[in-house]
Homo-oligomer: A and B are copies of this chain.
Protein backbone atom coordinates (compact mmCIF):
# COMPACT_ATOMS: atom_id res chain seq x y z
CA UNK A 1 0.00 0.00 0.00
CA UNK A 2 1.16 3.49 -0.79
CA UNK A 3 -0.14 6.87 0.37
CA UNK A 4 0.61 10.11 -1.40
CA UNK A 5 -0.39 13.30 0.38
CA UNK A 6 -1.65 15.74 -2.25
CA UNK A 7 -3.12 19.01 -0.94
CA UNK A 8 -3.57 20.78 2.34
CA UNK A 9 -6.03 23.65 2.61
CA UNK A 10 -5.23 26.75 4.69
CA UNK A 11 -6.93 27.39 8.04
CA UNK A 12 -7.71 23.69 8.47
CA UNK A 13 -5.95 20.37 8.88
CA UNK A 14 -8.00 19.00 5.96
CA UNK A 15 -5.97 17.25 3.29
CA UNK A 16 -6.31 15.16 0.15
CA UNK A 17 -4.34 12.12 -0.84
CA UNK A 18 -4.20 8.95 -2.91
CA UNK A 19 -3.98 5.49 -1.42
CA UNK A 20 -2.81 2.85 -3.86
CA UNK A 21 -3.55 -0.82 -3.21
CA UNK A 22 -3.20 -3.89 -5.38
CA UNK A 23 -6.98 -3.67 -5.95
CA UNK A 24 -6.98 -0.05 -7.09
CA UNK A 25 -6.63 3.50 -5.87
CA UNK A 26 -8.63 5.39 -3.25
CA UNK A 27 -8.94 9.15 -3.31
CA UNK A 28 -9.01 10.62 0.21
CA UNK A 29 -10.85 11.82 2.15
CA UNK A 30 -12.98 8.73 1.61
CA UNK A 31 -16.04 7.06 3.08
CA UNK A 32 -16.12 3.24 3.13
CA UNK A 33 -19.53 1.52 2.93
CA UNK A 34 -19.85 -1.28 5.47
CA UNK A 35 -20.28 -4.78 4.05
CA UNK A 36 -20.72 -6.62 7.33
CA UNK A 37 -20.80 -10.24 6.16
CA UNK A 38 -19.46 -9.43 2.73
CA UNK A 39 -22.61 -7.68 1.49
CA UNK A 40 -23.47 -4.01 1.75
CA UNK A 41 -27.03 -4.51 2.96
CA UNK A 42 -29.63 -4.03 0.23
CA UNK A 43 -27.17 -2.89 -2.44
CA UNK A 44 -25.97 -4.78 -5.52
CA UNK A 45 -22.23 -4.55 -6.14
CA UNK A 46 -22.91 -3.17 -9.59
CA UNK A 47 -24.80 -0.23 -8.07
CA UNK A 48 -22.14 0.19 -5.39
CA UNK A 49 -19.48 0.60 -8.06
CA UNK A 50 -21.29 2.37 -10.88
CA UNK A 51 -23.86 4.56 -9.11
CA UNK A 52 -22.61 5.04 -5.58
CA UNK A 53 -19.01 5.10 -6.83
CA UNK A 54 -17.64 3.41 -3.73
CA UNK A 55 -13.86 3.08 -3.91
CA UNK A 56 -13.28 0.74 -0.96
CA UNK A 57 -15.65 -1.28 1.21
CA UNK A 58 -15.34 -2.67 4.70
CA UNK A 59 -15.89 -6.20 5.97
CA UNK A 60 -16.27 -7.33 9.58
CA UNK A 61 -13.83 -10.02 10.63
CA UNK A 62 -16.06 -11.24 13.46
CA UNK A 63 -19.05 -11.76 11.16
CA UNK A 64 -17.09 -13.25 8.26
CA UNK A 65 -15.24 -15.62 10.59
CA UNK A 66 -18.58 -16.99 11.82
CA UNK A 67 -20.36 -16.89 8.43
CA UNK A 68 -19.48 -18.06 5.82
CA UNK A 69 -16.38 -19.12 7.79
CA UNK A 70 -12.73 -19.25 6.85
CA UNK A 71 -12.83 -22.51 4.94
CA UNK A 72 -15.33 -21.17 2.41
CA UNK A 73 -13.51 -17.85 2.05
CA UNK A 74 -10.19 -19.62 1.56
CA UNK A 75 -11.65 -21.99 -1.02
CA UNK A 76 -13.19 -19.04 -2.86
CA UNK A 77 -9.75 -17.42 -3.06
CA UNK A 78 -10.45 -14.65 -0.54
CA UNK A 79 -13.27 -12.22 0.10
CA UNK A 80 -12.84 -10.34 -3.20
CA UNK A 81 -13.39 -13.52 -5.16
CA UNK A 82 -16.17 -14.67 -2.83
CA UNK A 83 -18.35 -11.58 -3.12
CA UNK A 84 -17.18 -10.36 -6.50
CA UNK A 85 -16.05 -6.91 -5.32
CA UNK A 86 -12.74 -6.39 -7.10
CA UNK A 87 -11.87 -3.03 -5.53
CA UNK A 88 -9.99 -2.46 -2.27
CA UNK A 89 -11.37 -3.96 0.95
CA UNK A 90 -10.60 -3.12 4.57
CA UNK A 91 -11.44 -5.47 7.46
CA UNK A 92 -11.76 -4.51 11.07
CA UNK A 93 -10.23 -6.88 13.59
CA UNK A 94 -13.35 -8.11 15.34
CA UNK A 95 -12.37 -6.18 18.47
CA UNK A 96 -15.36 -3.89 18.36
CA UNK A 97 -17.89 -6.68 17.73
CA UNK A 98 -16.41 -8.97 20.38
CA UNK A 99 -16.49 -6.24 23.00
CA UNK A 100 -20.08 -5.45 22.04
CA UNK A 101 -21.05 -8.99 23.04
CA UNK A 102 -21.03 -8.01 26.74
CA UNK A 103 -21.66 -10.98 28.98
CA UNK A 104 -20.78 -13.62 26.42
CA UNK A 105 -17.11 -12.61 26.08
CA UNK A 106 -14.21 -12.73 28.51
CA UNK A 107 -10.94 -10.91 28.21
CA UNK A 108 -7.48 -12.06 29.25
CA UNK A 109 -3.89 -11.28 28.38
CA UNK A 110 -4.06 -14.06 25.84
CA UNK A 111 -7.06 -12.70 23.96
CA UNK A 112 -10.84 -12.64 24.00
CA UNK A 113 -13.01 -15.69 24.56
CA UNK A 114 -16.51 -15.23 23.20
CA UNK A 115 -19.67 -17.03 22.24
CA UNK A 116 -21.15 -16.70 18.79
CA UNK A 117 -24.26 -14.53 18.74
CA UNK A 118 -25.67 -17.01 16.22
CA UNK A 119 -25.38 -20.40 17.90
CA UNK A 120 -23.60 -19.81 21.21
CA UNK A 121 -20.51 -21.74 20.06
CA UNK A 122 -17.27 -20.81 21.87
CA UNK A 123 -14.33 -19.12 20.17
CA UNK A 124 -11.06 -17.42 21.03
CA UNK A 125 -9.63 -14.39 19.27
CA UNK A 126 -5.97 -13.62 19.93
CA UNK A 127 -3.77 -10.99 18.32
CA UNK A 128 -2.08 -13.79 16.43
CA UNK A 129 -5.09 -15.67 15.12
CA UNK A 130 -6.88 -12.44 14.19
CA UNK A 131 -3.90 -11.66 11.92
CA UNK A 132 -4.16 -15.17 10.46
CA UNK A 133 -7.92 -14.79 9.96
CA UNK A 134 -7.48 -11.46 8.18
CA UNK A 135 -4.80 -13.01 6.01
CA UNK A 136 -7.37 -15.60 4.93
CA UNK A 137 -10.16 -13.06 4.42
CA UNK A 138 -7.62 -11.25 2.29
CA UNK A 139 -8.52 -7.56 2.74
CA UNK A 140 -6.06 -5.01 1.39
CA UNK A 141 -6.01 -3.14 4.69
CA UNK A 142 -6.38 -5.03 7.96
CA UNK A 143 -6.68 -3.86 11.54
CA UNK A 144 -4.83 -4.71 14.71
CA UNK A 145 -6.75 -6.60 17.39
CA UNK A 146 -7.56 -4.15 20.19
CA UNK A 147 -9.85 -3.62 23.09
CA UNK A 148 -12.42 -0.99 22.16
CA UNK A 149 -12.60 0.93 25.43
CA UNK A 150 -16.13 2.14 26.27
CA UNK A 151 -16.65 5.90 26.01
CA UNK A 152 -17.58 6.15 29.71
CA UNK A 153 -14.62 4.14 31.07
CA UNK A 154 -12.85 5.66 34.07
CA UNK A 155 -9.21 6.67 33.80
CA UNK A 156 -7.77 3.57 35.39
CA UNK A 157 -9.80 1.19 33.24
CA UNK A 158 -8.91 3.17 30.13
CA UNK A 159 -5.21 3.15 31.03
CA UNK A 160 -5.08 -0.59 31.63
CA UNK A 161 -7.16 -1.22 28.53
CA UNK A 162 -4.78 0.88 26.43
CA UNK A 163 -1.79 -0.97 27.80
CA UNK A 164 -3.38 -4.28 26.86
CA UNK A 165 -4.15 -2.93 23.39
CA UNK A 166 -0.51 -1.89 23.03
CA UNK A 167 0.84 -5.29 24.10
CA UNK A 168 -1.62 -6.91 21.71
CA UNK A 169 -0.48 -4.54 18.96
CA UNK A 170 3.12 -5.65 19.36
CA UNK A 171 1.97 -9.27 19.02
CA UNK A 172 -0.18 -8.38 15.97
CA UNK A 173 2.76 -6.74 14.25
CA UNK A 174 5.09 -9.63 15.04
CA UNK A 175 2.63 -12.14 13.58
CA UNK A 176 1.73 -10.00 10.60
CA UNK A 177 5.35 -9.35 9.70
CA UNK A 178 6.36 -13.00 9.90
CA UNK A 179 3.46 -14.18 7.70
CA UNK A 180 2.72 -13.73 4.02
CA UNK A 181 -0.41 -12.83 2.08
CA UNK A 182 -2.40 -15.92 1.07
CA UNK A 183 -3.51 -14.77 -2.37
CA UNK A 184 -0.50 -13.06 -3.93
CA UNK A 185 -1.46 -9.40 -3.49
CA UNK A 186 -0.14 -7.28 -0.64
CA UNK A 187 -1.87 -6.48 2.63
CA UNK A 188 -1.08 -3.79 5.16
CA UNK A 189 -1.74 -3.63 8.91
CA UNK A 190 -3.02 -0.45 10.57
CA UNK A 191 -2.43 -0.07 14.33
CA UNK A 192 -5.33 1.44 16.28
CA UNK A 193 -5.03 4.35 18.69
CA UNK A 194 -7.16 3.87 21.82
CA UNK A 195 -7.14 5.86 25.09
CA UNK A 196 -10.78 6.74 25.59
CA UNK A 197 -11.37 10.46 26.25
CA UNK A 198 -8.15 11.00 28.20
CA UNK A 199 -5.71 13.35 26.48
CA UNK A 200 -2.55 11.90 27.98
CA UNK A 201 -3.60 8.33 27.12
CA UNK A 202 -4.44 9.30 23.54
CA UNK A 203 -1.08 11.09 23.26
CA UNK A 204 0.78 8.12 24.60
CA UNK A 205 -1.11 5.80 22.26
CA UNK A 206 -0.49 8.00 19.24
CA UNK A 207 3.22 8.23 20.04
CA UNK A 208 3.44 4.48 20.43
CA UNK A 209 1.83 3.70 17.07
CA UNK A 210 3.73 6.50 15.30
CA UNK A 211 6.99 5.00 16.52
CA UNK A 212 6.15 1.74 14.76
CA UNK A 213 6.33 3.29 11.29
CA UNK A 214 3.44 1.42 9.65
CA UNK A 215 1.70 2.38 6.38
CA UNK A 216 -1.37 3.88 8.01
CA UNK A 217 -3.09 4.39 11.36
CA UNK A 218 -6.57 4.08 12.75
CA UNK A 219 -8.25 5.88 15.62
CA UNK A 220 -10.68 3.66 17.50
CA UNK A 221 -12.85 3.94 20.57
CA UNK A 222 -14.60 7.14 19.46
CA UNK A 223 -18.29 7.57 18.71
CA UNK A 224 -18.88 4.96 21.44
CA UNK A 225 -20.76 7.04 23.99
CA UNK A 226 -18.59 10.14 24.51
CA UNK A 227 -19.79 13.62 23.45
CA UNK A 228 -19.05 15.00 20.00
CA UNK A 229 -16.82 17.67 21.54
CA UNK A 230 -14.79 14.97 23.28
CA UNK A 231 -14.51 13.05 20.02
CA UNK A 232 -13.26 16.10 18.13
CA UNK A 233 -10.82 16.98 20.93
CA UNK A 234 -9.34 13.47 20.90
CA UNK A 235 -8.96 13.50 17.11
CA UNK A 236 -7.08 16.80 17.38
CA UNK A 237 -4.77 15.41 20.07
CA UNK A 238 -3.99 12.27 18.09
CA UNK A 239 -3.58 13.89 14.67
CA UNK A 240 -0.99 16.31 16.06
CA UNK A 241 1.19 13.28 16.74
CA UNK A 242 0.44 10.90 13.86
CA UNK A 243 2.83 11.35 10.93
CA UNK A 244 1.49 13.63 8.22
CA UNK A 245 2.49 11.35 5.36
CA UNK A 246 0.38 8.38 6.44
CA UNK A 247 -3.41 7.92 6.07
CA UNK A 248 -5.55 8.31 9.18
CA UNK A 249 -8.72 6.25 9.56
CA UNK A 250 -11.36 7.25 12.12
CA UNK A 251 -13.28 4.04 12.82
CA UNK A 252 -17.07 3.91 12.91
CA UNK A 253 -17.69 7.65 12.39
CA UNK A 254 -20.25 9.04 11.69
CA UNK A 255 -22.93 11.58 10.76
CA UNK A 256 -22.31 13.86 7.77
CA UNK A 257 -21.42 16.66 10.20
CA UNK A 258 -19.03 14.36 12.10
CA UNK A 259 -17.34 13.49 8.83
CA UNK A 260 -16.80 17.11 7.81
CA UNK A 261 -15.60 18.10 11.28
CA UNK A 262 -13.09 15.28 11.29
CA UNK A 263 -11.90 15.94 7.73
CA UNK A 264 -11.30 19.46 9.04
CA UNK A 265 -9.11 17.89 11.74
CA UNK A 266 -7.03 15.85 9.33
CA UNK A 267 -8.86 12.50 9.02
CA UNK A 268 -8.65 10.70 5.65
CA UNK A 269 -10.85 7.61 5.99
CA UNK A 270 -14.27 6.91 7.51
CA UNK A 271 -16.72 4.04 7.81
CA UNK A 272 -20.13 3.87 9.41
CA UNK A 273 -23.32 1.79 9.18
CA UNK A 274 -25.36 4.99 9.41
CA UNK A 275 -26.12 5.50 5.70
CA UNK A 276 -27.40 1.96 5.25
CA UNK A 277 -29.01 1.48 8.67
CA UNK A 278 -30.79 4.83 8.60
CA UNK A 279 -31.60 4.37 4.93
CA UNK A 280 -33.37 1.12 5.76
CA UNK A 281 -35.44 3.01 8.31
CA UNK A 282 -36.41 5.85 6.00
CA UNK A 283 -34.00 8.54 7.18
CA UNK A 284 -32.35 10.22 4.21
CA UNK A 285 -29.38 12.56 4.32
CA UNK A 286 -29.25 15.38 1.77
CA UNK A 287 -27.15 18.49 1.32
CA UNK A 288 -30.10 20.52 2.58
CA UNK A 289 -30.77 18.43 5.68
CA UNK A 290 -32.41 15.25 6.88
CA UNK A 291 -35.64 13.78 5.53
CA UNK A 292 -37.81 11.34 7.49
CA UNK A 293 -39.57 9.93 4.47
CA UNK A 294 -42.29 8.30 6.61
CA UNK A 295 -43.55 11.76 7.51
CA UNK A 296 -47.04 12.52 6.21
CA UNK A 297 -45.77 15.76 4.66
CA UNK A 298 -44.24 13.74 1.80
CA UNK A 299 -47.45 11.84 1.00
CA UNK A 300 -48.26 13.84 -2.11
CA UNK A 301 -44.86 15.29 -2.90
CA UNK A 302 -44.13 13.90 -6.35
CA UNK A 303 -40.84 15.75 -6.80
CA UNK A 304 -37.71 13.62 -7.27
CA UNK A 305 -36.34 12.03 -4.12
CA UNK A 306 -33.29 14.29 -4.24
CA UNK A 307 -32.96 16.59 -7.26
CA UNK A 308 -29.28 17.14 -6.34
CA UNK A 309 -28.63 13.43 -5.77
CA UNK A 310 -26.03 11.55 -7.75
CA UNK A 311 -27.55 8.05 -7.90
CA UNK A 312 -30.24 6.71 -10.20
CA UNK A 313 -32.73 6.38 -7.34
CA UNK A 314 -32.68 10.14 -6.73
CA UNK A 315 -34.12 11.02 -10.10
CA UNK A 316 -36.26 7.93 -10.79
CA UNK A 317 -38.27 7.77 -7.57
CA UNK A 318 -40.37 10.51 -6.01
CA UNK A 319 -40.63 11.34 -2.32
CA UNK A 320 -44.30 10.30 -2.34
CA UNK A 321 -43.49 6.94 -3.91
CA UNK A 322 -40.67 6.21 -1.46
CA UNK A 323 -42.92 7.16 1.45
CA UNK A 324 -45.55 4.76 0.08
CA UNK A 325 -42.96 1.95 -0.05
CA UNK A 326 -42.01 2.51 3.60
CA UNK A 327 -45.62 2.77 4.76
CA UNK A 328 -46.41 -0.44 2.83
CA UNK A 329 -43.29 -2.18 4.22
CA UNK A 330 -42.00 -2.89 0.71
CA UNK A 331 -38.33 -3.94 0.76
CA UNK A 332 -37.62 -1.72 -2.26
CA UNK A 333 -37.94 1.22 0.15
CA UNK A 334 -34.97 0.05 2.21
CA UNK A 335 -33.00 -0.55 -0.98
CA UNK A 336 -33.68 2.96 -2.26
CA UNK A 337 -32.88 4.58 1.10
CA UNK A 338 -29.58 2.70 1.34
CA UNK A 339 -28.43 3.61 -2.16
CA UNK A 340 -29.43 7.24 -1.74
CA UNK A 341 -27.59 7.63 1.57
CA UNK A 342 -24.44 5.85 0.42
CA UNK A 343 -24.33 7.95 -2.73
CA UNK A 344 -24.78 11.05 -0.58
CA UNK A 345 -21.93 10.09 1.77
CA UNK A 346 -19.72 9.46 -1.26
CA UNK A 347 -20.72 12.82 -2.73
CA UNK A 348 -19.95 14.50 0.59
CA UNK A 349 -16.38 13.22 0.84
CA UNK A 350 -15.79 13.75 -2.88
CA UNK A 351 -17.00 17.34 -2.64
CA UNK A 352 -14.87 17.88 0.47
CA UNK A 353 -11.90 16.67 -1.57
CA UNK A 354 -12.62 19.21 -4.32
CA UNK A 355 -13.05 22.02 -1.81
CA UNK A 356 -9.70 21.15 -0.21
CA UNK A 357 -8.06 21.11 -3.63
CA UNK A 358 -9.59 24.54 -4.35
CA UNK A 359 -8.54 25.78 -0.91
CA UNK A 360 -12.19 26.66 -0.19
CA UNK A 361 -12.83 23.88 2.31
CA UNK A 362 -13.06 25.97 5.49
CA UNK A 363 -15.81 28.26 4.19
CA UNK A 364 -17.70 25.46 2.46
CA UNK A 365 -17.56 23.25 5.55
CA UNK A 366 -18.94 25.99 7.79
CA UNK A 367 -21.91 26.44 5.46
CA UNK A 368 -22.54 22.72 5.05
CA UNK A 369 -22.44 22.00 8.77
CA UNK A 370 -25.27 24.50 9.26
CA UNK A 371 -27.44 22.81 6.65
CA UNK A 372 -26.70 19.13 7.16
CA UNK A 373 -28.41 18.86 10.52
CA UNK A 374 -31.66 20.60 9.54
CA UNK A 375 -34.81 18.45 9.78
CA UNK A 376 -36.67 18.91 6.53
Contact = CB atoms under 8 A, between A and B. Distances in A.
Nearest to A77: B302
A297 interface: no
Nearest to A83: B321
Contacts of A39: 325, 328, 330, 332
B332 A331 contact: no
A81 interface: yes
A72 B324 CA distance: 10
Q: Chain A: interface secondary structure? A: helix
Given A40-B332, A68-B320, 18 more contacts: A37-B324, A37-B330, A38-B324, A39-B325, A39-B328, A41-B331, A44-B336, A46-B312, A67-B324, A68-B324, A72-B324, A76-B321, A77-B302, A82-B324, A84-B316, A84-B317, A331-B334, A335-B335
A244 B40 CA distance: 50
A45 interface: yes
A42 B331 contact: yes
Contacts of A325: 37, 39
A313 interface: yes
Contact of A335 (B44, B81, B302): B44
A316 B42 contact: no
A291 to B, nearest CB: 18
Interface residues of A, number: 42
Interface in A41-66: 41-46, 63
A67 B302 contact: no
A46 to B, nearest CB: 6
Contacts of A230: none
B312 A72 contact: no
Given A44-B313, A327-B67, A334-B331, A300 B82 contact: no
Contacts of A300: 71-72, 75-76
A324 B38 CA distance: 9
A321 B331 CA distance: 21
Contact of A38 (B81, B84, B312, B321): B321
A316 B49 CA distance: 13
16 contacts: A39-B328, A39-B330, A40-B332, A41-B330, A43-B332, A46-B312, A68-B299, A72-B324, A75-B300, A76-B302, A76-B320, A82-B302, A84-B316, A331-B331, A331-B335, A335-B335
Interface string A303-335: 000000000110011101100110110111011
Contacts of A83: 321
Contacts of A68: 299, 320, 324, 327-328
Interface in A318-374: 318, 320-321, 324-325, 327-328, 330-332, 334-336
Given A316-B46, A320-B82, A332 B67 contact: no
Interface in A269-321: 299-300, 302, 312-313, 316-318, 320-321
A328 B327 CA distance: 26
Contacts of A324: 37-38, 67-68, 72, 82
Contacts of A335: 42, 44, 331, 335
